[in-house]
Structure formats: structure tokens, C-alpha cells
């Protein structure tokens, strides 16, 4: 950040009085510009024993498989964001959303929040951000072609938890060093 969004004056990086972190502070109007993590909301859409994955049509990781997910918008709940992203990326409607995995990614300032959800029906298709959308059995998951560690970890948890038919909320940090 170089300029203040309030008055247009240059900002400097410093620790404001009463704070303990470097922030962008306007030298003219003294507004402190906080930058906070972005929330990614999405779904693990389930149909019987299968899960729905999308092959990404956009960067990053174009061509790799993912769960439908994206950045939460202002004015929506987490559940609304997850359902919207599923509709946008997979043209799929979901119900019975239940928060399942929560991942902290401090190295890229993101928090992933993924819901287990039931597909309403089999009317799904590739949305604008997807090359294709497909249901997968566990044995057919393209593990080496998953777009992000959060997706692989969510699927690992799901298939493990499915054996016991218990789905606890999972909260983990994923660091830049994890592959």
C-alpha cells in the first residue's frame, strides 16, 4: 500500500501508538489501514459415496482439481459464501451444510473454511472458473493433481472420518513448507 484510501496522501509503515504490529499509517489524516486475512469459503459436495471436484480454469493452479471454494464477499454469511461458490464453480446446489475444516494459512494471509454438504441433485456442470466438474469415488481421486494442500487435507479427513461416521470440526495450520 502506497497511498491512503481516505485522503490520497502517502502512507508509511510503522507501529501506531497502542499497537504492536507494523501498519500502513497515513501521515496526513493519521488513518491506520489494517490488512487482515482473507476468508475462503467452500464446500465438500457429497453424493452418496462420491465427492464433487472441479478442475480449475483459472490461475493459480489452472488445470488442477479442487473443491468449489473462493473468497467470501461482504454482506454474506460463511454458509452463503460456500453455497454461492459451489453454484458459481460447479453449477451445483447444496444443502445441509456443516462446517468441517478450518485451515489457517498465515504465509498467504488466508483462512479456509470448508463445509461438508449434500448435493441437492445431479444437475451440475462446469462454471466459468472450471474446466470440468466430476463426481469421484475415493479410489479415483486424482491425489497428485489436487490444486492446494487444504483440498487434499480436507479429502483425507473426510475419507478417514467417513469410516467412523463422525465428522468433527478440524482446525489446522498449513505452513508454506507443507507440500
Share of the chain above pLDDT 70, in %: 98
Per-residue pLDDT of 151-173, as tens digits, reads 999 999 999 999 999 999 999 99
CATH at 30: 2.20.70.10
Residue 179 lies in a domain: no
- Return d(Cα 110, Cα 96) in angstroms, integer: 25
Which phi and psi angles does 112 have, rounded to 5°? -95, 135
Closest CA to 53 of 158, 168, 134: 134
Supply angle C-alpha 105, 44, 47, rounded to 5: 170
Q: Is the domain of 63 the same as that of 135?
A: yes
Residue 176: which pLDDT band, with cuts at 50, 70 and 90?
A: confident
Give residue 6's domain range: 1-35
Residues 104 and 60 placed together within one structural domain of the fold: yes
Domain count, the chain: 2
Q: What is the pLDDT of residues 83-140, one digit of tens each?
A: 999 999 999 999 999 999 999 999 999 999 999 999 999 999 999 999 999 999 999 9
DSSP classification of residue 40: E
Identify the residue with better confidence: 179 or 106: 106
Q: What is the pLDDT of residues 18-53, one digit of tens each?
A: 999 999 999 999 999 998 899 999 999 999 999 999
Cβ burial of 136 (10 Å; 0-12, 13-18, 19+) is middle
**Is residue 17 situated within a structural domain?**
yes
CATH number at residue 81: 3.90.79.10
CA distance 61 to 92: 22
Nearest to 51 by CA among 103, 144, 116: 116
Tell whether the model's pLDDT for residue 56 goes beyond 90. yes
pTM: 0.89
Q: Tell me, what's the pLDDT at 179?
A: 42
Peptide bond into 162 cis (omega under 30): no
From the DSSP assignment, how many helices (H) and strands (E) are in the chain? 2, 11
Domain co-membership, 29 together with 74: no
Residues 70 and 86 in one domain: yes
Same domain, 94 and 121: yes
Task: Identify whether residues 143 and 107 lie together within a single domain.
Answer: yes
Amino acid at each position: 500500500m502506497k497511498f491512503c484510501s481516505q485522503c490520497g496522501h502517502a502512507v508509511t509503515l510503522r507501529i501506531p501508538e497502542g499497537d504492536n504490529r507494523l501498519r500502513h499509517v497515513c501521515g496526513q489524516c493519521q488513518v491506520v489501514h489494517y490488512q487482515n486475512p482473507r476468508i475462503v469459503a467452500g464446500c465438500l459436495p457429497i453424493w452418496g459415496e462420491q465427492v464433487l471436484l472441479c478442475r480449475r480454469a483459472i490461475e493459480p493452479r489452472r488445470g488442477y482439481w479442487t473443491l468449489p471454494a473462493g473468497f467470501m464477499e461482504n454482506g454474506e454469511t460463511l454458509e452463503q459464501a460456500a453455497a454461492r461458490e459451489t453454484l458459481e464453480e460447479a453449477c451445483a446446489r447444496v444443502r445441509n451444510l456443516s462446517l468441517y475444516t478450518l485451515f489457517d494459512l498465515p504465509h498467504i494471509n488466508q483462512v479456509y473454511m470448508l463445509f461438508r454438504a449434500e448435493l441437492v441433485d445431479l444437475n451440475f456442470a462446469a462454471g466459468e472458473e472450471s474446466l470440468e466438474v466430476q463426481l469421484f469415488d475415493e479410489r479415483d481421486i486424482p491425489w497428485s493433481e489436487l490444486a492446494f494442500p487444504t483440498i487434499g487435507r480436507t479429502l483425507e479427513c473426510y475419507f478417514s472420518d467417513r469410516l467412523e461416521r463422525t465428522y468433527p470440526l478440524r482446525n489446522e495450520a498449513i505452513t508454506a513448507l507443507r507440500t
